[in-house]
Amino acid sequence: MQAPNFYAHPGCARAGRRRRDTGWIVERITDPASLFVPVWRNQNLVIEFDGTEPRAVVLAAAALGPSLTPAEERLARGEVVFLGVVEERAHFALDLSPLEAPLDTLRSPAMAASGIGAGVRFTDLRQLGGRIERREGALLALARAMLFWHARHRFCGLCGNPTRSEEAGHMRRCTEPACNTMHFPRTDPAVIMLVSDGERALMGRSKHFPPGMYSTLAGFVEPGESLEMAVAREVREETGIEVGAVHYHSSQPWPFPANIMLGFHAQALTTEITVDYGELEDARWLDRHWLLAHADDDSFRMPRLDSIARRLIEDWLQGRIETG
Ligand SMILES: [Zn+2]
pLDDT digits (tens, 9 = 90+) for 111-167: 877 778 889 999 999 999 889 999 999 999 999 999 999 999 999 999 999 999 999
CA of 81 to the centre of ligand 1 (A): 22
For residue 50, the model assigns a pLDDT of 85
Check pLDDT > 70 for residue 324. no
Check pLDDT > 80 for residue 323. no
For residue 117, the model assigns a pLDDT of 84
For residue 67, the model assigns a pLDDT of 72
CA of 184 to the centre of ligand 1 (A): 13
CA of 171 to the centre of ligand 1 (A): 13
Give the C-alpha separation, 107 to 7, whole Å. 29
CA of 101 to the centre of ligand 1 (A): 34
Evaluated on CA atoms 217, 220, 222, 228, the torsion sign reads positive
User: Which tens digits make up the pLDDT trace of 56-98?
Assistant: 999 998 888 777 778 899 999 999 999 999 999 999 999 999 9
The alpha-carbon radius of gyration of the chain (Å, integer) is: 22
Give the C-alpha separation, 68 to 163, whole Å. 21
CA of 181 to the centre of ligand 1 (A): 5
For residue 273, the model assigns a pLDDT of 98
For residue 81, the model assigns a pLDDT of 98
Residue 285 — very low, low, confident or very high, per pLDDT cuts 50/70/90?
A: very high
What strands, in cross-sheet order, belong to the sheet with 182-183? 163-166, 171-174, 182-183
Taking Cα atoms as reference points, which of 123, 26, 125, 9 lies closest to residue 71? Answer: 26
* Confidence (pTM): 0.94
- Beta bridge partners, 247, equal 265
CA of 170 to the centre of ligand 1 (A): 17
CA of 158 to the centre of ligand 1 (A): 5
